[in-house]
Amino acid sequence: MPRYHVQAPVDVTVLRSGIPDTIPGRSVDLCERGVAAVLAGEVVLGEAVGVELQLTHMTDPLRARAMVRHQEKLCCGMEFVGLSATQQAAIREWAEQISTEIEPAAQIAEPEPVKEVSIDSAAPPTAPLRRWRPRWAVVAAAIVLGALASWWRWHRGWQELESTLPREGKTVVELSQTQVPAEVMEKLIVHRVDPDYPEEARKQHLEGVIVLDVIVGRDGEVEDVHPLNGPDVLSKAAADALRWWRFQPYRVDGKAVPVETTVAVEFRP
């Protein structure tokens, strides 16, 4: 089923202990079967959630029940459950409208008229000159470009998810750290610094949730920060602020150990 690249605000509601908990985030791609998103909190694989997605050119938000099928740090994939035929049609109409705005159909050049060539009566008779017009080449090129554009749009969303995986250069370092969930480290924060909203981002009206991979030392100080997504101007501002955060030391069997966790920072104009 085709996927459509879309970055739009998404709210995921989870019912835990009878209390609804809403997690904000930003979608990566969408299809009639489900949605992939980066969230400001973690969900559990196989957990039933409610999804509310606000798409451009749609008056009412898309609301649906879903099941969490993929969870990697703060990136998750959710499969829709019981999506109505009306909602499926709305997704298709939205995708067609977006595709028309972003990728206008290729126009085939009008063939030039054949120019008549006068033949000198004194010259030996020759066949009339004809100009070769590569119509089939233009049509074939338009088909190939359309296919490549569709594949690129389908594949781009998953490239963003793959970019959140650990880099090869960090493999040896990360294996030595204790992986701690984001909600656990949230309770150990003793000093938090909110990032500055860059003026450049304000002019471009950039917003969203930036997810960062953070290494916290035995003393609770942040030793390393790596943004996992988002525009450079926002990810740099988030990383600069995270370096000033302080945590209570995380202990295993009473001994402080270095840990690796994820932190989500949301930017709004």
pLDDT at 41 exceeding the cut of 60: yes
Asked if the domains at 1-105+143-165 and 168-267 fall in one CATH topology, the answer is no
Residue position matching structure tokens 């790596």: 226
Q: pLDDT tens for residues 127-165? A: 554 554 556 666 667 776 766 765 666 556 555 555 554
Compute the mean pLDDT over every residue in the chain, rounded to the nearest whole number: 77
Q: pLDDT tens for residues 211-231? A: 999 999 999 999 999 999 988
Average confidence (pLDDT) over 181-205: 90
pLDDT at 55 exceeding the cut of 50: yes
> Which stretches of the chain are DSSP H helices?
85-102, 135-162, 171-175, 182-186, 199-204, 232-242
Pair of tokens at residue 254: 């009473």
**What is the fold of 168-267?**
TolA/TonB C-terminal domain (3.30.2420)
Q: Are 160 and 210 in contact (CB under 8 A)?
A: no
Which residues, at least 6 apart from 269, have a Cβ–Cβ distance to it below 8 Å? 197, 202, 205, 207
pLDDT at 44 exceeding the cut of 50: yes
- Per DSSP, the residues of 5-43 read E---EEEEEEEETTEEEEEEEEEEEE-SSEEEEEESS--
**Selecting from 3.90.850.10, 2.40.10.220, 3.40.50.620, 2.60.420.10, what CATH number does the domain 1-105+143-165 have?**
2.40.10.220
